[in-house]
Structure 1
Amino acid sequence: MKTFFTALFLLIVQFVFAQEEMYADGIFNFDQNKPQKIFTTCARIRQAPEVNAQILDSLQPNQQVLILKKEEKVLKLGERVASWYKISYDKNGRNSEGYIWGGNLCTGYLSKNGYDFLLGLTKTISKKIRSFLLRPFSKTSLQSR
């Protein structure tokens, strides 16, 4: 019985102190050598796959890029988790390369009748700050928007 409780205690300690492993094979998973589009405004292109790396350029929404390689580094911003990608892109008639965080890319896009429809996530709202979602709206508050 003593062995059982010792094993149970060790198992509980393992669950309590285990670090959450970040993985990014969800919605922001993109294939190599495939075109992709920028979703966020002023998406920063960096020299290395790190937040503190030098900013080389910035791209606007709907700019097409080519995914060259998925990096092992993963970044979590808010509740979004995505890998870094090495990309190639054309801007002002010049081909350049750099790194972009996958959360800045479209999760999908469609071109129809001359219009481009981009699908993606710009940011997530903290679970702690949801008070503005719970505020009741009246007809006058909706009309003033």
Structure 2
Amino acid sequence: MYRTLTLLCLIFSLGTTLSAQDIETHEYFQIETNKTAYAFGDNINVRDAPNTTGKVVTQIKAGTILKILDVAGDKLALKGVEVPWVKVQFLQNGKSQQGYIWSGLLALDRVTRDGFEFLLGLTRIENGVYYQEVRIVKQGTLLATKEYKSNAEDGHEFGFEVLGNKGVPNITNVIRVYNYMPACLHWTGFSVFLWDGKTLAYMGFEGGTMNVGESWDEIEFIFPEDKGGSGSDGLIFKRVLSGKGDYIGNSVETITKTVWAWDGKQLVHKKDE
């Protein structure tokens, strides 16, 4: 199921808000027949039966376009992820083929931009926490991967967007993965990445964390093209608002801002403001 959600989290009487964001979101583990899906794993075994003892009939590469024909067989649990097998149809060397794969090897989402395929997948679940990974593919070749702790849990939804360089020199795209929990009592926001055509780097988390009646934090990345950004300087501002308060409206907030630059491999701290 797909929905467009606007993120606007009001922390009761404390008056702290997260910036509104519009992004299409998805629920985890929504597998539907006759829908298009994409291979997330690279060199996935395609079997003639929906189990690990089925004969391997071929392998498919990350980004392969698949049609879900059926949800079949018992669920298989690997690395904390328990999902069923699916029967899929795909083209390989110009020939239509069918077989079974474990649905944990399907991409959660896929975006194409600038000749690249950007894939989002779930790699493992540990202690209820979802670890996800961004993969970048071009013409069937896996170019880059980056796994990260998403902090998502059961009941969360996710979104995936690939933007331009937002004014950062030598960067091709800013990538943002959104995780949303339908409540204002925990956290919500984006995991942010930078892609320069060769290197995929994790910037960190942008959004809000909160413990209502005690403390809250809001982290915002301000890119050169954003309102209040550095413009032609190509610098990235990181704004952090921290607060402490209680249930009756007493609160104290502090705001810090640091300045970062991309050196071709990683973000480098330049100064504090």
For Structure 1 versus Structure 2, the TM-score category normalised by the shorter chain is 0.5 to 0.7
Secondary structure of the corresponding residue to residue 116 of structure 1 = strand
8 Å CA contact 1:42, 1:60 repeated in 2: yes
CA deviations over 1:99-129 (Å, ceiling 9, x no partner): 01001100111112322110002345689xx
Q: Answer with 111-120 or 45-54: which moved more.
A: 111-120
Runs of 5+ consecutive residues of structure 1 not aligned to the other structure:
1-25, 128-145
1:87 matched to 2:95: no
1:109 matched to 2:106: no
Larger relative helix fraction: 1
Secondary structure of the corresponding residue to residue 61 of structure 1 = coil
**Root-mean-square deviation (CA), in Å?**
1.9
Runs of 5+ consecutive residues of structure 2 not aligned to the other structure:
1-26, 129-273
8 Å CA contact 1:28, 1:83 repeated in 2: no
8 Å CA contact 1:29, 1:102 repeated in 2: no
8 Å CA contact 1:86, 1:100 repeated in 2: yes
Secondary structure of the corresponding residue to residue 121 of structure 1 = strand
Secondary structure of the corresponding residue to residue 71 of structure 1 = strand
8 Å CA contact 1:40, 1:122 repeated in 2: no
Instruction: Report the equivalent of 1:37.
Output: 38
Instruction: For CA contacts below 8 A with separation 6 or more, give which structure has more relative contact order.
Output: 1
Aligned length: 102
Q: CA deviation at 1:62?
A: 0.5
Secondary structure of the corresponding residue to residue 123 of structure 2 = coil
Larger relative strand fraction: 2
- In 1, distance between residues paired with 2:113 and 2:51? 35
- In 2, distance between residues paired with 1:72 and 1:43? 18
Q: Percent identity?
A: 27
- In 1, distance between residues paired with 2:28 and 2:44? 18
Give the AA of the match of 2:47.
R
- In 1, distance between residues paired with 2:39 and 2:30? 14
Give the AA of the match of 1:64.
I
1:77 matched to 2:78: yes
